[in-house]
A and B are shown apart, each in its own frame.
Chain A
Amino acid sequence: MLHKYEFYQTLLNDIMLNLTFNRYITHKEGETIDDCQDAMHENVMLGRFAIADGATRSFFPKIWADLLVNHFCDNSIFSFKEKNWIEWLQPIQQEWYEKAEEKVKDRNLFYLTNSFNTREPAAATFIGIEIDIKTEKWQAMIIGDSCLFHKTNSGFSSYLIEKSVDFDSFPEAFASYADKNYYPPTFISGAIHSDDILVLTTDAIAKWILDHNESGNVGTCLDRLCELDSNEKFCQFVNQARSEKVRLVNDDVTLMLISIEELNCDEKNKSRHDISSATHNSENINSSTNVLETIIWGLIAGVTGVWILRWVFYFIQDLLLTLFKTN
């Protein structure tokens, strides 16, 4: 499954940045995509992107992973300013409970009933990032061993795990019961520039990238990921990487690559033309936004114009009445 969008933003200094993202997912070797407990989602209008890795042995982890990424991207309750992650989790913890109850009730199956009655939680690692191109900033909330990488022209940063040896089988995670969230997420932020790449990925590829970073080959390894342009090619890459010398661990794999580039002159002019001529491109999300803005400004201008004309009309009317009365 490949999702690719491009969108454009006009900045105050009239520089335009192009933000492109590709996302990929595949399953453990020996399993099927139906067994995959990872989730990912995005909302390009809000600049939000998220991935989650459901813990296989927890209770209904896929439901929980889906709830986490969808809630982060599509619901503005969460605030990086307030860091209100506990309150943010509450509605989806309730939703997860109701979905689990629906699946368990009337089934009388020990492997479901016992887990439900003993309040066994779902657990998932999580990364949610919000990118604001206007302020050239990003903010992220991370828990567990899913990693965020930020490659710039001047370096490579890794959050939260920095060394490949630090991955283990018991990562911190968001839990579907409030009292079982033993660990808070970590909040980080940074700046974006042209040519930056942000990578959101679950633990298997994260470890693989860090292995390459430790051997001085992170550039080559990221180039390899950036060359992918379909989920089919991603699956081929994963299969190959699982048998390479620097071995990709067998696990569900989710990867989201966000590239930031400065538009060249032709593209800027094209974008301006698209906006001024009010053409609509389904993959040009921000063009749609600008068309909407044009319409709104048009309406405001229209209403203001009518109000001014009405005021002029009343002024002339009063003036004429005054003249007639005088005569």
Chain B
Amino acid sequence: MAYNNVPIGTSNPGCIVILVDQSWSMSEPYGDGTKAERASLAVNHVLEELVLACRRGDDIRERCHVTVIGYGEKVNCIIDGIISEIPSYLLEVKDTKKKISDGAGGLVEVNIKMPIWLEPLANGNTPMHEAFQRASEFVDEWITDRPDVFPPIVINITDGAATHPDLTADFARKIMNISSSDGNALVFNLHIANSGNKVILPHNNSQFTGEPLAEYLFHISSPLPSPLYIAADKSGLPIEQGARCFGYNIDESQMIQLLQFGSLDVTQIRVLPNPTE
């Protein structure tokens, strides 16, 4: 179970399944907006990062397959396709402004295009178990067709209040037990919570004791496999042995960072070092 025998690439695309909570509880305030806004923003940023990670020159290389499943009033497959097809799922591209360095010590405002695949939605119960069930079926099918690939990664973004927590846990563990010759499928849980510490890749629940939803999600998250542990350590994340694929109330940049190294071979996630940062 090496998680590195078959690197993700155009010959062996990776598989990312994103589950996003769209239940009523996501309408609760979070920062200046709502949890639903926070979740949709995270999904949009993650998809954008995945597209950029698969960019070669002016093309999008087919390095991974992406599925996005929303769960709330209904369980809905929002996106399902190879990464090069993902731009075709765009709802809109918003024009916005961003200030950047002008290269001469000043700032200059430039035009930015913000891709929107997912709008905030908060309605109905939290059928997280159905979402995990759909994901497990998809993961099973993926590995049946490709028994030797890097195993699929399932990322669940939620406030944690599942309608059927036991069933959800069963399906999450079912996913974790599906394996290719390269390793078991991985389940990441990203918990959007209003209070408490920001915790990334914890090795126990000591930093969010008294938070039953967080403890619950921690226990249905995969142990971080060794190659990802090394990658996380190299990228500067505070991490200890026994870490799990769990982020609690983490901020935007941490969420992207977590998903970046979790979603693709870390050798493909290279950025220019900036000593000023």
Contacts and interface: CB of A to CB of B under 8 A. Distances in A.
Interface of A: 28-32, 34-35, 37, 55-58, 60, 62-63, 103-104, 107-115, 117-119, 121, 123, 168-173, 175, 177-180, 182, 249-251
Interface stretch (B108-116, B125-133, B205-213): B108-116
Contact of B113 (A103, A114, A170): A114
Given A30-B12, A57-B268, A110 B56 contact: no
B58 interface: yes
Contacts of A29: 6-7, 9, 11
Interface stretch (B35-43, B46-54, B68-76): B46-54
Interface in B98-119: 98, 100-101, 103-104, 110-115
B55 A111 contact: yes
A123 B272 CA distance: 7
A56 B270 contact: yes
B57 A62 contact: yes
B270 A57 contact: yes
Nearest to A116: B110
Nearest to B273: A170
B86 to A, nearest CB: 10
Most buried by A among B10, B51, B267: B267
Contacts of A57: 52-53, 268-271
B202 to A, nearest CB: 23
A103 B55 CA distance: 13
A111 B51 contact: yes
B274 interface: yes
Given A29-B11, A103-B58, A175-B272, 9 more contacts: A30-B9, A32-B11, A110-B48, A110-B113, A114-B112, A117-B111, A169-B234, A169-B235, A182-B276
B272 A58 contact: yes
Nearest to B108: A119
Contacts of B271: 55, 57-58, 170
13 contacts: A29-B7, A34-B56, A55-B270, A57-B268, A104-B58, A110-B113, A114-B113, A117-B111, A118-B112, A119-B100, A171-B273, A182-B274, A250-B7
Contacts of A115: 52
A251 B6 CA distance: 12
Contacts of B266: 169
B87 A109 contact: yes
Interface string B4-30: 101111111000000000000000000
B7 A28 contact: yes
B93 interface: yes
A108 B95 CA distance: 11
A57 B267 CA distance: 9
Contact of A177 (B103, B113, B270): B103
A113 B11 CA distance: 28
B149 to A, nearest CB: 9
A35 B11 CA distance: 11
The 9 closest A-B pairs by CB, nearest first: A30-B9, A179-B103, A110-B113, A31-B9, A57-B270, A117-B110, A170-B273, A30-B12, A123-B272
B112 to A, nearest CB: 6
B267 A251 contact: yes
A63 B115 CA distance: 26
B275 interface: yes
Most buried by A among B57, B87, B115: B57
Interface string B114-149: 110000000000000000000000000000000000
Nearest to B267: A251
A55 B101 CA distance: 22
A119 B48 CA distance: 18
Interface in B174-231: none
Contact of A30 (B11, B48, B51, B269): B11
A176 to B, nearest CB: 10
B239 interface: no
Given A111-B51, A170-B273, A119 B103 contact: yes
Nearest to A180: B272
A114 B94 CA distance: 12
A173 B272 contact: yes
B256 interface: no
A168 B274 CA distance: 15
A113 B10 contact: no
Nearest to B103: A179
B234 A179 contact: no
Contacts of B270: 55-58, 169-170
B248 to A, nearest CB: 26
A113 B113 contact: yes
Contact of B100 (A109, A111, A118, A121): A118
A97 to B, nearest CB: 12
